[in-house]
Amino acid sequence: MLTGFVFPKFSGSNGWEYFRRLERINAEGDVPYYAMPILEAPDVIYWEKRRDALRKINEIVDAYDRFVLNLRIGATDFSGLFGLRRGFDVTIYDIQVIRDCMTDIINNFCRADRDCVVSAPVWEYFHSGERVLKPLLRSTPFQRRYGETGKELRSRLLNRYLDGLIHETLLDKANGLMGKTVIHPSHIIPVQSMYVVHQEEYTDALSIVENHGKTGVVKSLFRNKMNEIKPHTNWARKILMRSRIYGVFHSDTDFFNLLQCS
């Protein structure tokens, strides 16, 4: 049942030893074990140490890339170093010191030529409380699509703080992060549903890949955007890869349909 190990507080000072031990374990068995280093150590977020820390981590990850399926950002530990904790009304991207560090991690590991998978920080909340700001989920899409059932679905999501989770996951995707650690069963379907590929994305990605090397720009089949082949190719390849993992929505369905199961 065991397929790998989490490497907490991963850094240049302990990373080599983590992987040397993993190599010894793999040498003794027939089934390979993998690693998930967590980027949460102080030297990764302290600005005067960050560049050197990421350079050292690069060397280790590149040397053992065959064992690394995923790098995870540990924003809770980062926040603890500053005595911070995000509330349910804000996302991790609103905590600026964490956002700046995540920006550098994404810049370093999510370039097209690196081919690293970096996953997003955990969302900590799963029950509701007193709200200060307006909910992040608009009522109109739910009511327009499902009527009274839609209103009940939205209320259920708000009562479990899932509107903040959905908003943050949208920002994770927009910033190139793939996947999100969950700490409660109610988080699984919302996170998974957000990574299912929309048919429009899938169609555009296919068009871009099929026209690679043939033309510079093509109009989307949905007639609402241009697909510029060269700069959009890496995006298209990631969309097609994601579609093989999470699937593609039918033309008249989207994540709202899956959310009804949460």
For each of the chain's 262 residues, which pLDDT tens digit applies?
A: 899 999 999 999 999 999 999 999 999 988 899 999 999 999 999 999 999 999 999 999 999 999 999 999 999 999 999 999 998 888 999 999 999 999 999 999 999 988 799 999 999 988 655 554 455 566 666 666 666 666 666 666 655 567 788 889 999 999 999 999 888 888 898 899 999 999 999 999 999 999 988 889 999 988 899 999 999 999 999 999 999 999 999 987 877 777 766 5
pLDDT of residue 44: 97
118-119, strands of its sheet edge to edge: 4-7, 34-39, 71-73, 118-119
Domain positions in the chain are 197-246
| Tokens linked to 164 | 């903040």
CB atoms within 10 A of CB 211: 16
Between CA 228 and CA 211 the distance in angstroms is: 10
If we measure between CA atoms, which residue out of 68, 46, 44, 45 comes closest to residue 55? 44
pLDDT of residue 257: 72
Predicted model pTM: 0.86
pLDDT of residue 132: 47
pLDDT of residue 137: 62
| Tokens linked to 132 | 């200060």
pLDDT of residue 235: 95
Residue with token string 């990850």: 61
